[in-house]
Structure 1
Amino acid sequence: MRKFYKVTVGMAAATLLVGGLAACSTSTESSSNDETSPSASEEADPTPLASIPALDGVDTQVTLDAGFVEALTSLNLTPGVTGTATLDAATGTLAFPITGGNVDYYDPELDYRPYVQGEIDHMGSGITLTGGDTVVGLSDFKIDPGTSRLTGTVTANGEEVGTDVFIFNLDGTTLNPLAEDADGNAVLEGTTVLVSSDAAALLNETFGTDAVTDELVVGIAKITAKAAE
C-alpha cells in the first residue's frame, strides 16, 4: 500500500497540485513517452510530495474554437448540454461541474512517470451533438492528468455505445501561468482540447461523414479546482 505524505489541504496544496498539472499536461506524444519510459518501473511506490485525496469543485470550462463551430455547422450538427452542464451561447463557453477526484504529485526529479497521477471527475453532465434524427451524447467526463486524456460515456439515441471512451486529447503546452480566483481556488487556463482519433472515427461513422478529423481543435479549457475541506 502506498504511503501518502500528508499535507494541509488548502491553497498551498492546491497550488502545488495544479502547478504539477501544468507541468505534466503536455502533448499526447510527450505523455506517451513518459508512460513507456523504462525508468518508470524502477522507482517502486515513491512517496508523493503532495496528495489531495478529494477534489470538491468547481468546474472545467471550454471556450469553443471558431473552427470547431464552423465544422459543426458544415455537418448540420447542433450542440447541446445534458445534466448539470451549461452552454453560454453568447461566449460559446461550455461548463462542466467538478464532482470529485484526487491527485498525487511526485517529485519530477525522480525517475517515476507520470509524476502527476489521479483523475478529475465530472459526473452527471455532458454534451450532445444532434444531426437529423441522430443524437450522440458525450458525458461523465474524467480527466487523467498523467496521460493528458479525457474519457467519458458515449451514447447514440439514448443507447450506450461505450464507457471510458477516449474522447479528447489535452495539450498543456499552451497553458497560462497558475492563477488564483477571488475565492482562493486554483485556476489553470489555456489547455487546448482536441478531438481524439477514437472520437473522430466514431462521429464520422455515426453521422456518415469523414469531416471530423483527428486532432481537430475543440477549444481552450479553464479548470478551476477546489480541494475538499
Structure 2
Amino acid sequence: MTVHFIGAGPGAADLLTLRAVDHLRASPVCVYAGTYIDDAILAHCSAGTRMVDTASMDLDAIIAELVAADTRGEDVARLCSGDPSLYSALAEQSARLDAEGIAWDVTPGVPAYAAAAATLRVELTVPELAQSVVLTRAQARSTAMPDGERLSAFAATGSTLVLHLAITRTRLLAEELTGYYGSECPVAVVFHASKPDQLVLTGTLGDIAEQVEAAGLKQAAVILVGPAVGRTPGAESHLYDACRDRA
C-alpha cells in the first residue's frame, strides 16, 4: 500500500489536480483535517471510503490509522490543505512512516498564497520592483522560528512578503513592517481564498490591522505585503522584449 500525501489546494473543490482526484477516488481510506477541508473536496472520494477526520487527533493517533491501513493493504489519501511543501507536517509524518517501512508519495496542490494572488489578480514578482517572494509565518503559540529567520531580516530585502498563520498578530506585524516598507505600502488579506465565503481586504500597512479586527478574522487567512501587491508599476519583463535575442 501507499500513503498519498495530497495537496487539497486552498479550498475550492475544482482546484485539485487530476492526480489528486484519481488518488481520492482509488484510495479506500481518506485522512483529512476537517478544520480546513470541507465536504465539496471530500466528495471526490468514492462511496464506502473510510473517512478519518484528524481535527481532534494527535500525531500518534494519525500514524496509528496509517499503520492500520497498511496492515489491511489499503492505500490512504492523506489530504493536506494547500500544498504539502508548506506548513503541512509532512516531515514528521513521513519520518514515522519511514520508520514503519510504509511507502508514501506526494501530490502537489495549489498553495494558498497562489490562490490569494489569483484572487487579487496580481503578479508577486514585478521586474525592478520585487523579484523575490518570502513565504514565512509569525511565531505565537507555535514552534520557535530559527534564529536567522527574523521578519526584520526578510523585510530589509524589500521582497514581497506572504505571511501564513499570522492573522491574529496583524497589528504587531504591520507596526514592525512599517519601518521597512512605509505606512503606505500596499497590503492584502485573503481569507478562505477560492472558497464560497472568501473575503478580501485591501489597504496599507497603516490601516490593514483595523480592517482585520473589524472583520473578526482569526484563522485561515494569508497576508501579502509589498508594492507588487498593489499593482505598483514596474519595468517590463525581457521575456517578451522584441529586441531580445531568441536564438
TM-score w.r.t. length of structure 2: 0.27
Which has the higher Rg, Structure 1 or Structure 2? 2
Determine which structure has greater relative contact order: mean sequence separation of CA pairs < 8 Å that are 6+ residues apart, divided by chain length: 1
The structure in which a higher percent of residues are helix is 2
TM-score w.r.t. length of structure 1: 0.28
